[in-house]
Homo-oligomer: A and B are copies of this chain.
Amino acid sequence: MLIKLDGSGPLFLQLYRALRAAILSGRLTPGARLPSTRTLSLETGLSRNTVLLAFDQLLGEGYAVGRRGSGTYVPTELPDDMTSVARASAEPAPAAPQVVPQLSRFGRTIRDWHVSWVGREARLAYDFRYGRPAMEDFPHATWRRLIARRLRSLSPRDFDYGPAAGAPELRHALAGYLQRARGVECEPEQVMIVAGSQQALDLTARVMLDPGDRVLLEEPHYAGARAVFLAAGARLVTAPVDGEGIDLSRVAASARQVRVAYVTPSHQFPSGAIMSVARRLALLAWAERENAHIVEDDYDSEYRYAGRPIESLQGLDRTGRVIYVGTFSKLMFPALRIGYMVLPRALLQPFLNAKALADTGTARLEQLALADFIAEGHFERHVRRARARNGERRAALLAAIAEHLGDRVEISSADAGLHVLLWTPKLPGGRVASLCQQAAQHGVGVYPVEPFFLERPRRAGLILGYASMSPQRIRSGIERLSDVIP
């Protein structure tokens, strides 16, 4: 098989793209066996480790299945959301002469990616999908009422362009909430409303990073952030995460001259660790020393079940180093597309300008309803109830794991959030994908942690989200899972 690398970005991603293209174009047909890592290593001149990383990417995204020991295969059915994109670009307009568009560096970098937040529909009976709250926990009737009330009372001005920073009502309500609930130190004018935390990360990359600049990531880390930084042409360096969060003492020497560090201190994604105060202070001191900024992604720490609350990293920041990012995707619902940034004052104007250039500002109706939802206490009431319900789900999950999986798994920190990470000590790293497939055959959806590592992880692990199932179903799912965990 002829492998042609495109010369853009990390080698493992080049190989991943080449193999994915072969799969999507049909050169590697469904069910076909991929060349072995050894063969590919010889053919391409890439190290075996690089080939393994490319395979992990393919396996993690569902472009390949199977055990690496006995062969890796093209799945017989590709997920819908992947093929729809692939189909669209694979069929040129009839009779149109081929145009090869000249793209920017950014455009060339991302051209062949498959970026999507659309999950496969929960076709499995016991699907431990993660990254979403339970839609049925949300007080839909209240939300409908607030939207309807705002719709009736909007003034002509409310239909006009709004400030790039967002609706003042929402910025004000949010500033109050963040001070009360998260120990964030801010005035309403430091709060900028964005279209979800994804836009916050993208604006940060644009305003702060030139191609070649270094970004420090936790290892493992949220892949959506990694994609933004890679697209911006950043060089990634990582520091490992332990039970206390990111460990800067083990950062690589190349971590010098880092411009931005991206961290999830209140609930590390995906390990679940909560960063200790000592590590927080060390991180802030490091940022000051390096003249770097820290992105604090506080995506779901409202769901906290044990241990004493630790306030935001931002609240400890005395020198304007922390860019605080939050989202309503895990507390309301993702389709709302509302997130926010709390910006150091020195960064306010460039970020406001970047937001204004990007989309002039976020749509207003739902911002206003959300401001009411917060100001009238519905939001915090909902958070309390959703936390209690997810606490029940979590308790059921942990009990079922203890009963059915016992010492075959090791639970990474599970004090907060909507998912747990299970390390599976007896599972060879290369067998995670086939285990996930076996579990799916038993009707159980579990997901490998590997895509959230930049380097190949030393241990095998699974992510289990528990927000979208009842305690009863969670118990049954774990019972079934126990049949396939070695």
Contacts and interface: CB of A to CB of B under 8 A. Distances in A.
Contacts of A102: 208, 259, 291
A91 interface: yes
Interface string A291-332: 101000000000000000000000000111100000001000
A337 to B, nearest CB: 4
Contact of A293 (B101, B147, B157, B329): B101
B116 A207 contact: no
Given A85-B352, A110-B350, A361 B337 contact: yes
Interface string A82-123: 001100110111001111111111110011111111110100
A195 B359 contact: yes
Give the size category of A's interface with B.
Answer: 35 or more
A340 to B, nearest CB: 13
A139 to B, nearest CB: 12
A11 interface: no
A81 interface: yes
A194 B363 CA distance: 11
Contacts of A115: 164, 352-353, 356-357
A194 B199 CA distance: 13
B147 A228 contact: no
Interface string A356-391: 111111111110000000000000000000000000
A107 B335 contact: no
Interface string A68-85: 000000000000010011
Identical chains bound together, number = 2
Interface stretch (A26-34, A341-349, A415-423, A431-439): A341-349
B135 A156 contact: yes
Contact of A152 (B88, B101, B144, B159): B144
A206 interface: yes
Contacts of A477: none
A286 interface: no
A381 B99 CA distance: 38
Contacts of A210: 104-105
Given A147-B147, A147-B151, A319-B99, A163 B357 contact: no
B159 A350 contact: no
A104 B206 contact: yes
A91 B364 contact: no
A337 B166 CA distance: 12
B99 A346 contact: yes
Given A98-B346, A112-B349, 15 more contacts: A100-B346, A102-B259, A104-B213, A106-B207, A110-B207, A115-B352, A115-B356, A118-B162, A121-B157, A143-B151, A194-B359, A202-B357, A202-B358, A363-B363, A365-B366
6 contacts: A89-B346, A117-B356, A144-B152, A147-B147, A198-B357, A335-B363
Interface of A: 81, 84-85, 88-89, 91-93, 96-107, 110-119, 121, 132, 135-136, 138, 140, 143-144, 147-148, 151-152, 156-164, 189-190, 194-196, 198-199, 202, 206-210, 213, 227-228, 231, 259, 291, 293, 318-321, 329, 333-338, 344-350, 352-354, 356-366
The 10 closest A-B pairs by CB, nearest first: A159-B333, A115-B356, A117-B161, A337-B363, A107-B207, A195-B359, A335-B364, A135-B156, A199-B359, A110-B353
